[in-house]
C-alpha cells in the first residue's frame, strides 16, 4: 500500500522559513570567507571555520524546518536523534572541506571543481542522512532519476556558492548571492523530496505512541538557530565586513594617515654645522 505524502502540511510557512534560514546561513558564510580575502593577515582559520559552520547550519536548519511540514497521512513519523545530529555534523564538516579548499587555494578551475563536488555531495549526504533518520510504519523508496537530478543541483549550488565566496566582495553583492544560494539549496531539497515514495507496512500504527515530529525537531533546531544569530552579531559588529573592501580601503588612509616630516626652522643651521665640522 502506498502512503499519501503531503510535503506542505502548513502551507507556505515551512518553505518560506526554510528558505530564510538557508539564505541567512549562506550570507553569513560568504561574508566570513570574504573577510579572509579582504584582510589575509586576519585569523583565516577561525573565519573560514565560522563561515563553514554558518553555511552547514543554515542548510541543515533549512532541511528540518521544511521537514516539519512533511507528513504521511496513514502513519506517524518519528526521527532518530543520533542520525539527525550526525547529519548536522556531516553538513558542517563537508562544507568546511570545500570552504577551506577555496579559502586557501582560491577560485581556480581545479580547486573550485573539487571543492564544489565535495561540498555538493556532502549537502546531498546530509539530506539523505536526515531522511534516513525518519522512522515510520513503512519503507521509503526513491526514484533514481530524480535523486540523480538532486545531486546535480547540489553540486551546482555548492560550486556557485563557493565561487561567489571568493569572487563577490561587496555587501549587496554577497546578499544577492546568498538569495540565489537559498533558492538553489531549497530547490535541491524539494527535488530530493519529489523522489520519495512511502510503501506502508500491513500493521497498523494506531498503537505507536511517542512525540510528534515537531516536538522532536524544534529543540534540535534551537541550537543551530541560536548559533546563526550569534554569528550574525559577530559579522554585524566587524567593521571590515560591514563596510566592504572598497570603502574600507578608502577610509583607511583617513583613520591612519602617514605622518609627514614637518619642516624644521633649524635645518639651515644644521647644514651649517655639518659644513663647519668638515673644514
| pLDDT given at position 79 | 87
Q: 182-203 as b/e, with b when 16 or more CB fall inside 10 Å?
A: bebbbbbbbbbbebbebebeee
Mean pLDDT, 10 residues at a time, the chain of 279 residues: 81 90 87 74 81 90 90 84 91 89 77 86 88 87 92 87 73 76 88 89 55 71 87 77 46 47 52 44
Contacts of 89 (CB under 8 A, 6+ apart): none
| pLDDT given at position 279 | 38
Going through the chain in order, the beta strands assigned E by DSSP cover 5-6, 71-72, 78-79, 134-135, 138-142, 196-200
First to last CA, the chain: 113
| pLDDT given at position 231 | 87
Beta bridge pairs of residue 138: 200
> What does pTM read for this prediction?
0.78
CA atoms of 57 and 139, how far apart (whole Å): 28
| pLDDT given at position 248 | 38
Cβ 188 vs Cβ 121: under 8 Å: no
Amino acid at each position: 500500500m502506498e502512503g499519501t505524502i503531503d510535503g506542505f502540511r502548513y502551507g507556505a510557512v515551512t518553505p518560506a522559513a526554510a528558505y530564510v534560514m538557508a539564505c541567512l546561513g549562506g550570507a553569513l558564510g560568504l561574508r566570513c570567507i570574504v573577510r579572509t580575502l579582504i584582510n589575509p593577515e586576519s585569523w583565516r582559520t577561525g573565519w573560514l571555520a565560522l563561515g563553514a559552520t554558518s553555511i552547514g547550519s543554515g542548510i541543515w536548519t533549512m532541511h528540518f524546518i521544511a521537514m516539519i511540514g512533511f507528513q504521511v497521512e496513514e502513519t506517524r513519523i518519528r526521527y532518530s536523534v543520533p542520525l539527525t545530529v550526525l547529519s548536522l555534523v556531516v553538513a558542517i564538516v563537508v562544507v568546511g572541506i570545500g570552504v577551506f579548499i577555496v579559502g586557501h587555494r582560491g577560485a581556480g578551475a581545479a580547486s573550485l571543481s573539487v571543492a564544489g563536488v565535495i561540498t555538493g555531495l556532502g549537502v546531498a549526504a546530509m539530506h539523505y542522512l536526515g531522511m534516513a533518520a525518519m522512522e515510520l510504519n513503512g519503507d521509503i523508496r526513491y526514484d533514481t532519476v530524480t535523486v540523480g537530478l538532486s545531486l546535480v543541483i547540489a553540486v551546482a549550488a555548492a560550486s556557485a556558492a563557493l565561487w561567489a565566496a571568493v569572487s563577490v566582495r561587496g555587501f549587496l553583492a554577497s546578499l544577492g548571492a546568498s538569495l540565489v544560494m537559498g533558492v538553489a539549496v531549497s530547490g535541491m531539497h524539494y527535488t530530493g523530496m519529489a523522489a520519495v515514495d512511502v510503501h506502508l507496512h500491513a500493521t497498523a500504527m494506531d498503537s505507536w505512541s511517542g512525540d510528534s515530529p515537531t516536538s522532536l525537531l524544534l529543540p534540535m533546531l534551537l541550537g543551530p538557530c541560536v548559533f546563526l544569530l550569534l554569528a550574525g552579531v559577530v559579522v554585524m559588529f566587524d567593521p571590515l565586513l560591514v563596510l566592504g573592501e572598497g570603502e574600507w580601503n578608502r577610509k583607511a588612509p583617513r583613520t591612519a594617515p602617514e605622518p609627514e616630516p614637518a619642516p624644521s626652522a633649524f635645518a639651515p643651521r644644521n647644514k651649517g654645522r655639518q659644513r663647519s665640522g668638515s673644514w
